[in-house]
Amino acid sequence: MASENGRAARLARRLRDLREHEWPEANITQVHLARALSAQTRVAPATLSSWESLTNPKTPTPSRLNAYARFFATRRSLEGAPHLIPLAELDEEEKERFRELEDELFALHSAVVGESAPNGEFRRQVLSFEDPGPVVIICPEVPEGVLGPLAKEDDVNHNRLHKYADLDALLEIFGHLRALNPETHVLHRLPSDVQQAELQNHLVVLGGVGWNPTVRRVLSSLRRLPIEQYEDPRLETGEVFRVRKADNREERTYFPVTEEFEGHQELVEDVALLARLPNPFNYGRTLTICNGVHSKGVLGAVLTITDETVRPSNEAYLAQRFPSGAFAMLVRVPVLSGKVLAPDLQNPDARVFEWSPDEED
């Protein structure tokens, strides 16, 4: 414990040193810096004080360290009120300074929390949370026409979980969330059961727009997200993903892949949406989306961040590719003899489309 506190103190000392000595004549206070960092999610001056404490330091998250690196990468952060410069607006010299600072702070963070991939790269646990608020998993409901008898409330053996679709994905992610966040209240809800106030917690949304109207509502709130899901007459078994046209890209639609086997079409590759973004209903908390064209795509999105075989390297990839922690991506989900395999993000063929709101700031 003493050595861990020592490592945490080294990070705290470096954060204080940046604020007090990077530009000493600027006299940057904790209040000034807290206001600047709050451009992402709100942070109080008292929290900065805890991050800089040498006696009882609290360790900030990687996304906060990314913001520190952005702030101190350029003196332009002090033009007017102290503020964060979007990463895309940094010039080459400033980006180089940003990368140096980020690498340094991430290395100090890794020494504290011990998060590293097998190759030593920094990684971030996607399903861990800085804010200790409740986590609400919203799972689609099985359509009325295909409900089994045990889903009927008047059945003597009624079981509420029979109403849940994507149960494989729900059980996988629920257990993982509880293991990573043992003191956090983790709830699961059907869309019809979600209370308005619960939408302002950390949200984990499973499933597509067809069986989960809450997904449609949430996605409609993410106006900048260039990925949308819609019904296409060429596919009767699910809703496909489309990336909207922009200045630097053409519109493109992504379909699952099937092959004929013994006289019928067998799914061999689904398409999944995996996203981790600020909650549009409460920017201080998070939204995680695990979606797919079919249920196997939903499970594949979950396994990307829970499967022990690929999770460490996937988290390392996400930490490097999306240093602020906010991202959305479409991935290919391999299906072998009806079994879902966890996508490996180190394989470029698995990554269909990638986007971060920070790259468009």
Q: What is the pLDDT of residue 179?
A: 85
Query: What is the predicted pLDDT for the residue at 63?
Result: 73
Three-class SS state of 308 = coil
> 238-245: long-range contacts (C-beta < 8 A, 24 or more apart)?
238/208, 238/210, 238/292, 238/293, 238/294, 238/297, 239/208, 239/209, 239/210, 239/293, 240/271, 240/293, 241/271, 241/273, 241/293, 241/330, 243/330, 243/353
pLDDT digits (tens, 9 = 90+) for 303-357: 999 998 888 889 988 988 888 889 999 999 999 989 999 999 999 999 999 999 8
> What pLDDT, on a 0 to 100 scale, did the predictor assign at position 71?
95
* pLDDT given for residue 270 in this prediction: 97
Low-confidence stretches of the chain (pLDDT < 50) are 1-2, 116
Write down the pTM of the prediction.
0.70
Q: Which of 348, 259, 340 is nearest to 297 (CA)?
A: 340
The DSSP code sequence of 17-56 is: HHHHHSSGGG---HHHHHHHHTTTS---HHHHHHHH-SSS
Q: Is 2 helix (H, G, I), strand (E, B) or coil?
A: helix
SS3 content of the chain, % helix, strand, coil (to 5): 40, 20, 35
1 and 7 in contact (C-beta within 8 Å)? Answer: no
Q: In the prediction, which pLDDT does 1 show?
A: 41
